[in-house]
Amino acid sequence: MKEISKLLEYRPSVKVLDATLRDGGLVNDFFFTDEFVKALYETNIKAGVDYMEFGYRADKELFNESEFGKWKFSSDEHIREIVGDNNTDLKLAIMADVGRCNYKEDIRPKSESPVDCIRVACYIHQIPAAIAMIEDAVNKGYEATCNIMAISTNQQGDLAAALDAVCKSPVSCIYIVDSYGSIYPESMARIADLYVSKAQEAGKQIGIHAHNNQQLAFANTIECVGDGVDWLDATYNSMGRGAGNCAMELLLGFLKNPKYQERYALEFVEKYMNPLKESGAVWGYDLQYLATGLLNQHPRTAIAFTKDGRKDYFEFYKELLATD
């Protein structure tokens, strides 16, 4: 049982990262208006958020620029159009996927970029490639994180070996990523224990990126806070792939550091996220995502179900069971 004092005090090392543009961009192919992005940036500053993730820096040889909004590629120039020189306490991040980012050319030295942090996303078999990207980013002057995805399908021994390898790199933070939204808080406590113990030995920090397939994204995030996890991902109104993420407005209400101001999160949801949803962008908890989360599967079948406008949830669940 966690100590009572921890419920009323706060740990200054806790950081909140807004992933709305990046994970939310997977919902609308990154077509956010500049007005939206500027308001999001201003909200993050007022609400005391620590990091704002601007999207992917995807390889333009792999992805067609005409098919996506600019935050699929998040060039330094486009970010500067929003933030200028970003003379604020808000740090800026982008995500770089192993195998989908031409990082040697597209990530320029930090001295030429408004970005502070490169988040390197990978699957467990891509750890060596991720470490090469982390080293490249740190050598160029950035802070780097390693976001190992889909760990609910990995063996604990493999995960421990991966953490040992990443801990030897110049990474700042390693993320627990519950890509399938299948992890319960009881298991999350055990996973956090593994990550935090490895990180403490190596002087690294741990983060949590949760998905809401079983309405547990917020619960898993605050479970992790109590377990010593410091970097917390959230998105406004939970906007993110499939069932979405931990809601920023819930997380800021929970955290006790007085710099966090949940009222601005509520204001942003009312003025920008609800209209976005009303305009047709579809994300959030629903039975098809519960189904893939429960079965520890990638959400791609559930996303297809959603895109096809299907409402036959029971039939979908039977399809999953039949092919499980």
Site residues for its own copies per CB under 8 A? 1-2, 4, 6-7, 184-187, 189-190, 193, 212, 214-219, 222-223, 226, 247, 249-250, 253-254, 262-263, 266-267, 269-271, 274, 287, 290-291, 294, 311-314, 317-318, 321
- Cβ-in-10-Å burial (0-12, 13-18, 19+) of 122 comes to buried
- 86/212 with CB nearer its own copies: 212
The gap from C-alpha 84 to its chain's centroid, in whole angstroms, comes to 24
Between CA 118 and CA 128, with CA 123 as vertex, the angle to 5 degrees is: 70
Q: Find the shortest distance in angstroms from Cβ 29 to its own copies.
A: 26
- 81/270 with CB nearer its own copies: 270
- 138/219 with CB nearer its own copies: 219
* Helix ranges (DSSP H) in the chain: 4-8, 20-28, 34-47, 76-83, 103-106, 127-139, 156-167, 185-202, 217-226, 248-254, 262-268, 274-278, 287-294, 300-307, 313-323
Q: Find the shortest distance in angstroms from Cβ 2 to its own copies.
A: 5
Q: 224: how many CB neighbours lie within 10 A of its CB?
A: 27
- 73/305 with CB nearer its own copies: 305
Q: Find the shortest distance in angstroms from Cβ 73 to its own copies.
A: 33
Q: Find the shortest distance in angstroms from Cβ 315 to its own copies.
A: 9
| Separation between Cα atoms, residue 240 and residue 27, nearest integer Å | 6
Q: Find the shortest distance in angstroms from Cβ 165 to its own copies.
A: 25
- 114/185 with CB nearer its own copies: 185
End-to-end Cα separation, the chain, in angstroms? 36
